[in-house]
Amino acid sequence: MHQKLLNWYNQNARILPWRVDVFEKTNPYHIMVSEFMLQQTTIATVIPYFNRFIEKFPTVNHLASSSVDDVLLLWQGLGYYRRAKNLHFASQQIINLDFFPKSYDELLQLKGVGDYTAAAIASIGFNQPVIPVDGNVKRVWSRFYGIDIDSKNIKLISQQFTLLMQGSEAFAFKISQALMELGATVCMPKVIMCNMCPLKKSCKAFENNTMSEFPKPKKLNKPKQFDLNLFLVTDSQKQKIMIKKNPEQGLFANMYFLPSNLDERVECLNKDEDCLLHQFKHILSHYHFNVSVYHSYSKDDHSCFNTDKEVYHWISLTDRKKYSFPKLIAKALDAL
């Protein structure tokens, strides 16, 4: 069965920036960067970010020696910014180790690397006999065995699919990618192309015509609604704006932001002169922001902000692209 899967993969695998040759093992650093970026993000979205990232930081050494602000600036717009911080920290861990970890257990010691990412780097980057279990692999397994997915059988998925490698351990990196590719392009959630599947003759769901029943959909929690008021605090000439550096923890950690109703300092703004510039919605997986953008002046020539210069900064509008803003802040700045 593994040979059918490999033959299918050799003929049908997509060429991706981190997988330029389906017949060769991939640069482990490229795999690490791509897997961090692909968490909660589609391949189509990731590709241009990956290309720019590798151009700026071509090796793990380049990444480790950079500042976290440089990394966040390049990550801007990709979202889930904690991934960028973790990736930067993990690169520094690798440099301190003086070698790139190869095994699943060693990779788990890196910041931001969980079960799936460790297995992906070990398998695809170093040809280790372990199966990375992502959503695509879970779906293939669920239909192949006709069993629904729960938290108790994640390890079972890896164990059972690892058996596919027996006799083909030299191609572990290809079998892992083949299973993911199968789920991404053939055994998809709603569009199921069984006629193209190399495993259909052994597939329980195909045998019983129950493909659409597996896996059962999960109930999703409703995202939290949040009213966010952003303040474009400018100088009298509207040549400079006030920005703030977010703390190292929390939503949009370490990124630059605008003064908002999240800050106590906005109490010093002259609310009588606030001018509504723009309103829009910004949607994240767990939050829906209703954003209002105001052009604001503060009392006493912004002295309330100037008392905390490590957090609040004046920047020229022409320099704003030098700072790592979340996408919703970039939208707000477009109102000027």
Q: Specify the DSSP element, H or E, that contains 226.
A: strand 224-233
The Cα–Cα gap between 180 and 122 comes to: 15
Give the integer Cα–Cα distance in Å for 75 and 231: 24
Sign for the pseudo-dihedral over CA of 247, 251, 256, 262? negative
Quick one: DSSP state of residue 66? S
Cα distances (Å, whole numbers) of residue 272 to 267, 269, 294: 12, 9, 12
Cα–Cα distance, 240 to 317 (Å, whole number): 5
213 is an active site residue = no
- Round to whole Å and give the CA distance between 269 and 251: 24
CA distance between the termini of the chain: 60
Calculated CA dihedral for residues 253, 258, 264, 270, nearest 10 degrees: 180
Query: Of the residues 35, 264, 267, 273, which is catalytic?
Result: 35
**Within a 10 A sphere around the Cβ of 283, how many other Cβ atoms?**
10
How many Cα atoms within 13 Å fall on the side-chain side of residue 30? 17
- For residue 65, the 8-state DSSP code is T
* Residue 294 token pair: 């105001």
Q: Which residues pair with 291 in a beta bridge?
A: 228, 280
What does the angle CA 69 – CA 267 – CA 313 come to, to the nearest 5 degrees? 25
What type of residue is 322?
K
Q: What letter does residue 215 receive in the DSSP assignment?
A: S
Is residue 327 within 8 A of residue 282, CB to CB? The reply is yes
Active-site annotation, residues: 35
